[in-house]
A and B are shown apart, each in its own frame.
Chain A
Amino acid sequence: MVEKSNNKRQRVERVPEFFINDHHDVLVEILRRLDGPSLCAAACVCRLWSAVARNDSIWEELCFRQMSPRPSLSLRSVVSALGGYRCLYFLCIRPVLARLPKLLWSRDQLQLSLSLYCVHYYERLYVGAWIGDAPPSSLMFLRKPVNVV
């Protein structure tokens, strides 16, 4: 009698019923609810999670979470064409948020980020055309650390 219950217990412990890595859609749903730093950390967990984290809808959710009329669908096609939400977040939105912390994330900042992102895309179109080694990047000013005096 005791052995049977032990076996049952052991069986329950040894075989979990649910393993998150088998259910990518559930993983995506969970990741969607994370904030920026947590999401970046999650993307570093393992190769699978890193690949799943490349799903642009997760980043779209991150970008627009606080905005109350949701942006139109045409925005999605424009942003995808320019390189996707993930790049938008890393290149524009995250530095903008870091440097304008007092302001809530609003349409104006989104508009500004999109404009900067668009210029960035445009500049990278013909890399070889520029004189000099590196392609120019108009977003370089966002990458440098802010001088805190």
Chain B
Amino acid sequence: MKRDHQQHLGKTMKEEEDGNGMDELLAVLGYKVRSSEMAEVAQKLEQLEVMMSNVQEDDLSQLATETVHYNPSEIYTWLDSMLSDLNPPSSATDYDLKAIPGDAILNQFSIDSSSSSNQGGDTNTNKRLKCSSADSMAVSSSTAAATMNGVAETTLTTATAESTRALVLVDSQENGVRLVHSLLACAEAVQKENLAMAEALVKQIGFLAVSQVGAMRKVATYFAEALARRIYRLRPTQSPIDHSLSDTLQMHFYETCPYLKFAHFTANQAILEAFQGKQRVHVIDFSMNQGLQWPALMQALALRPGGPPIFRLTGIGPPAPDNFDYLHEVGCKLAHLAEAIHVEFEYRGFVANTLADLDASMLELRPSEIESVAVNSVFELHKLLGQPGAIEKVLGVVNQIKPEIFTVVEQESNHNSPVFLDRFTESLHYYSTLFDSLEAVPSSQDKVMSEVYLGKQICNVVACDGPDRVERHETLSQWRNRFGFSGFSPAHIGSNAFKQASMLLALFNGSEGYRVEESDGCLMLGWHTRPLIATSAWKLSTNQMVSH
């Protein structure tokens, strides 16, 4: 009876009303519904149907015996009472979201939080939404973005995909959308300090994440874990083992995907061009790690027309656990290489807890007529943004060094907004795209370690705050402003770097997804339409150079 009624309603929604404002056709059947309320009544009927199908056996019988039944011919009020019985008003301690499917939560939000633009305007749109390609987090996050902006829903169904996959939950695509919505809802709850709701949502996210496959599953799992850490205040502490572990993880990340290679190759090309014709060169590296960037530069210097210059390298890095002098070991390896390819090599390693501890005088710089200097920083500068005054100090030191060129590679995304929800949303999109690009890589231990490497970054962005939060990425335009204020002007990275980068990317699996873009002299590597990392080169502004 209810089902017929629903179909009937669907047809009658468009029909004319009679004099009383009551729908004529329904009145014939004995139900009184105002035409103006038809849409709402239809919506609530759907809600009720969904809820009743999910409610436990005992609850239904409870409904039958204990609830006061309103006159069902007054559909509007009857529906209200049924809905409120099945969906008790939320008390902070007793919110069991498992019984309530995602749509109802969305409806709840659209009623409760009118201010939030993140929940998707039209609930009907949300219900009808299906992703057009399965398993692609990028697509589903873009559809989520579409609903967030209240733009019309994406079409349609992949009925074949649904039927071929055996899942715990009914529909993977719809769960994918629900997953994204739940993640955002949880982040919002955390932002509003509504920790009970956030806790319930995190558990739900856990279930939904398991129903996904591929990149979406991994991203959702990492974000869920990070949210859980934030909710339960389990801040990951910087344990001493971390540094060597993060080095290893970065090595695997280097091997699996092109981002670090792109960074190194483009920065090296810029440095090589800046050092043209110079006989003594000095590179100061803020991001020494294992020194993977420098073999390629040394080889290029060895083979340049006119022969290699005298190459001096100063490497700066954080202290290792048990004070193992890894910088010294890296220096030895580089010296070994330099000897093999006949390049005169000089090396110095500095251990510093933070780059802000550095001073130009420590670096033993020689006069600029004799020695040309380049400063290089790959994914290091953003770590300074958590300490007040640090970035300004470091840029001041770089100014004092008076380099020929200052190469900077940073992530192209704003994960440093003071508003938690903004950081969360941005990083969700960013890391989804990043994990998507990893999907093309065949599974291996390297790939798993790369994912762990990225997972640690996710954890830091979401779960940490204050000085612990070091992954404070900012976009290229933000960095441009910063550098502009600190007396640097952009140096265009030439077309050689662009060519080399394009060739490098063509060698990777999944190369059709990678894009190299040039933007005002800076090179950006992205996955499909989304830029992910940006290499830029800077020199001192000319008025600075004059006053030396």
Report A's interface with B, CB cutoff 8 A.
Answer: 72, 74-75, 77-78, 81-82, 95-96, 99-100, 103, 108-109, 111-112, 114-116, 118-119, 121-123, 125-126, 129-132, 136-138, 140-142, 144, 146-147
Contact = CB atoms under 8 A, between A and B. Distances in A.
Interface residues of B, number: 47
Interface centre among B291, B295, B444, B506 (most CB of A within 10 A): B295
B500 interface: yes
Contacts of B292: 119, 122-123, 138
Contacts of B305: 72
B303 A141 contact: no
A147 B340 contact: no
B295 A119 contact: yes
7 contacts: A77-B341, A77-B342, A78-B341, A99-B507, A115-B295, A122-B333, A136-B252
Interface of A is mostly: helix
B248 A142 contact: no
Given A119-B296, A129-B329, A75 B303 contact: yes
Contacts of A77: 341-342
Interface centre among B303, B496, B507, B510 (most CB of A within 10 A): B507
A122 B334 CA distance: 8
A78 B303 contact: yes
B307 interface: yes
A18 B148 CA distance: 82
A130 to B, nearest CB: 7
B340 A82 contact: yes
Nearest to A123: B292
Contacts of B177: none
Interface in B283-333: 291-292, 295-296, 298-300, 302-303, 305, 307, 329, 333
Interface centre among A122, A137, A140 (most CB of B within 10 A): A122
B255 A138 contact: yes
Given A99-B506, A132-B445, 9 more contacts: A78-B342, A82-B299, A108-B500, A112-B500, A112-B504, A115-B296, A122-B334, A132-B248, A136-B252
A54 B515 CA distance: 39
A140 B251 CA distance: 12
Contacts, number: 104
Contacts of B444: 140
B278 interface: no
Contacts of A138: 254-255, 261, 292
A123 B295 CA distance: 10
B299 A140 contact: no
A140 B507 contact: no
A109 B255 contact: no
Contact of B248 (A95, A111, A130, A141): A130
Contacts of B248: 130-132
- The 8 A-B residue pairs with the shortest CB-CB distance, nearest first, are A81-B340, A115-B296, A122-B295, A118-B299, A118-B295, A78-B341, A125-B333, A131-B248
Contacts of A144: 442, 509
Contacts of A119: 292, 295-296
B337 interface: yes
B337 A122 contact: yes
Nearest to A96: B507
Nearest to B258: A141
Nearest to B442: A144
Given A125-B336, A141-B256, A74 B302 contact: yes
A52 B175 CA distance: 63
B341 A81 contact: yes
A118 B337 contact: yes
B506 A78 contact: no
Contacts of B265: 115
B448 to A, nearest CB: 12
Contact of B333 (A81, A126, A131, A140): A126
A132 B444 CA distance: 13
Contacts of B342: 74, 77-78, 81
A82 B440 contact: no
A112 B503 CA distance: 8
Given A112-B503, A115-B265, A131 B440 contact: no
Contacts of A123: 292
Interface string B499-538: 1100110111111000000000000000000000000000
Contacts of A111: 300, 500
A99 B295 CA distance: 24
Interface in B450-508: 496, 499-500, 503-504, 506-508
Contacts of B387: none
B255 A141 contact: yes
B378 to A, nearest CB: 15
Interface string B249-275: 001101110100100010010000000
Contacts of B291: 122
Contacts of A109: 503
A82 B341 contact: yes
B24 interface: no
B142 interface: no
Contacts of A108: 496, 499-500, 503
Contacts of A78: 299, 302-303, 341-342
A82 to B, nearest CB: 7
